Every structure is written in structure tokens, then in C-alpha cells.
């Protein structure tokens, strides 16, 4: 299974920390700092997971999510909101909009990798056993 994760995040500190933690976990990380850039990278790179900030400038995370969900080539890629939107109802709003998961910011370095791995699709196994 590919270990490529796309992070769409405009905050340099958040992007640095998430990238560092994922790379330490053995993942290849590609990054985008805007919605349009994230959509383009997702289409070209076919990541195994997309971590999406909801509070992006210009094109917000919900608009990015809508565009990504319209792309048939990406319809099996899980998208997890990683956001400081942590008020009552925000998790439900993200999930209802089409996100597969939700991680609150600030991210916890002790649990972030575990939370991300819970969002990854289960590995496919062939009839001959694990691949």
C-alpha cells in the first residue's frame, strides 16, 4: 500500500509539525498551502489519505472537500479534517460535509500518528495472503 499522505494546510507551524510526525512514522508527505494547490496535488499524486485544514484562505476546506469529492479518481481516498473548529457540532458538520474523520488542533504529538493511522484504509490482501 502507498504510504503517501497529502496535507493541505496554510499554517507553517502546523504543517511542519504534522509533516515531521508523519515522516517519523515512515510516511511520504506531500504538502499544499492552498485549496487549489491541494486539489491539483491530490489529482496528480493519488495519496492514500488527505489531511485537510478547514480554515484555509480564499477557498475554504469545505469548498476543497466538495471539489475533491466530485473527482471520481479520488472517491476512495479518505479525507480527514484537521482543524481548530472544535466547538459543539463542528465534528458533525465536517463529517456530514463528506470528511471521513476529524482531528482537532492543536494536534497532540503523542497521539497524532495513531489518529492518522485510524483513518487509513485497511490494506488489501490477495488470495495468496498479504501483499
pLDDT score at 87: 73
Q: Where are the domains of the chain?
A: 4-119
Does pLDDT of 126 surpass 60?
no
Mean pLDDT of 55-79: 94
Distance (Å, whole) CA 43 – CA 68: 8
The class that CATH gives domain 4-119 is: alpha beta
Would you say 118 and 89 are in contact if contact means Cβ atoms under 8 Å apart? Answer: no
Would you say 43 and 74 are in contact if contact means Cβ atoms under 8 Å apart? Answer: yes
> For the segment 99-114, what is each residue's pLDDT rounded down to a tens digit?
999 999 999 999 999 9
Q: What percent of the chain has pLDDT over 70?
A: 92
> For the segment 14-38, what is each residue's pLDDT rounded down to a tens digit?
999 999 999 999 999 999 999 999 9
Mean pLDDT of 76-103: 90
Q: Is the pTM of this model over 0.75?
A: yes
pLDDT score at 131: 42
pLDDT score at 127: 44
Residue 68: name the closest of 44, 84, 85 by CA.
Answer: 44
pLDDT score at 75: 87
Amino acid at each position: 500500500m502507498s504510504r503517501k499522505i497529502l496535507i493541505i494546510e496554510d499554517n507553517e507551524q502546523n504543517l511542519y509539525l504534522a509533516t515531521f510526525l508523519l515522516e517519523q512514522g515512515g510516511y511520504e508527505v506531500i504538502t499544499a498551502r492552498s485549496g487549489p494547490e491541494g486539489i491539483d496535488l491530490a489529482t496528480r499524486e493519488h495519496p492514500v489519505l488527505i489531511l485537510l485544514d478547514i480554515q484555509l484562505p480564499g477557498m475554504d476546506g469545505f469548498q476543497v472537500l466538495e471539489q475533491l469529492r466530485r473527482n471520481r479518481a479520488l472517491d476512495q481516498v479518505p479525507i480527514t479534517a484537521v482543524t481548530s473548529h472544535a466547538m459543539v457540532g463542528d465534528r458533525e458538520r465536517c463529517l456530514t460535509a463528506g470528511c471521513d474523520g476529524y482531528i482537532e488542533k492543536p494536534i497532540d504529538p503523542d497521539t497524532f500518528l495513531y489518529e492518522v493511522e485510524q483513518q487509513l484504509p485497511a490494506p488489501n490482501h490477495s488470495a495468496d495472503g498479504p501483499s
